[in-house]
Amino acid sequence: MTEFDQMCPYFHKAMTILGKKWTGQILRSFIEGSRRFTDISTYVHGISDRLLSQRLQELEGEDIILRQVYSSRPVIVEYSLTDKGQALRQVVEAVQRWADRWIDDPVVATNRA
């Protein structure tokens, strides 16, 4: 039996986290730095506030993002990547490079349909 005869539990867990709908786009929004909820919502076009909140909680629970609350008026909540999340930057950037090379232009493809 080779190492590829069984699914690696670490890979499986990683893909379970990263493979959820919108998670990749949410992580992509952090490439430029910290974000507020509305910034992420605007960047990830089409996600509901409820689902965005759920995904952010999941990523926070996995120690991928950090939620910071600043006691100002109004209260400011900011999200940023943890060290664990920063380690995903290379993955997100690699997926972006792959998409730039191999994915047909989504605007052109939509117009053809």
Distance CA 48, CA 54 (A): 10
Asked whether residue 10 is assigned to any structural domain, the reply reads no
Q: For the segment 36-84, what is each residue's pLDDT rounded down to a tens digit? A: 999 999 999 999 999 999 999 999 999 999 999 999 999 999 999 999 9
Domain-located, residue 4: no
Q: Give me the mean pLDDT over the 1-7 stretch.
A: 70
The token pair that represents 43 in the structure block: 């960047």
**Domain assignment of residue 9, yes or no:** no
Q: Which residue range is the domain that position 51 belongs to?
A: 16-108
With contact defined as beta carbons under 8 Å apart, do 67 and 53 qualify?
Answer: no
The answer as to whether 5 is a domain residue is: no
Q: Is the peptide bond before 74 cis (omega within 30 degrees of 0)?
A: yes
What CATH number corresponds to the domain at position 98? 1.10.10.10
